[in-house]
Amino acid sequence: MLHIGLKIKEVLHERDMQIVSFAKRINRSRNVVYDIFERQSIDTELLKQISEVLNYDFFKLYKYERKTSETDFITGESLVDRNELNELSLKTQIQSLQQENISLQNEVLYLKKILSLMEEKYKQK
C-alpha cells in the first residue's frame, strides 16, 4: 500500500528543498509538514498543491498502485488489462453494429424502392 507521506518526504529531499521553504509554499507550518510525512492518506486539494510546489504528479502513484493491485485472485491476471481488452472489444462491437445498422438502413431503402415499383406496376393493370 502506498504511504503518500513518505513519498512526499522522499520527493522533497530529491528536490533538495528545505522543509521551512516547502511549508511556506504550501501555506502550512513546519509541524504540519512533519505531520504530512506521517500520513498514509491526504486530502486531494493539499496533494494537488504539494504536486505543484514539488513539480511531481503524486496522483499517478495512486493510478499505478491501482493497476498493479487489481489482479484476478485465481489467475493472477491484471484486471485492468482485462478491462482494457473488454473496452476494446466493446468498441469493436459498437463499430460492427453501426456498420450493420447502415447496411440494414440501405436494405430498407432498397425494399421500399422495390415496393414502390411493384405498386406502380399493380396500378398500371
Reported as a single tens digit per residue, the pLDDT across 65-95 is 655 544 544 445 554 555 555 665 666 677 7
What pLDDT is recorded for position 122? 87
Which pLDDT score is estimated for 72? 46
pLDDT at 64: 63
Tell me the CATH number for domain 4-69.
1.10.260.40
pTM: 0.53
Burial of residue 2 (CB within 10 Å: 0-12, 13-18, 19+) is: middle
pLDDT of 35: 95
What is the per-residue pLDDT for 81?
Answer: 52
**Tens-place pLDDT, residues 7-44:** 999 999 999 999 999 999 999 999 999 999 999 999 99
CA distance 67 to 84: 11
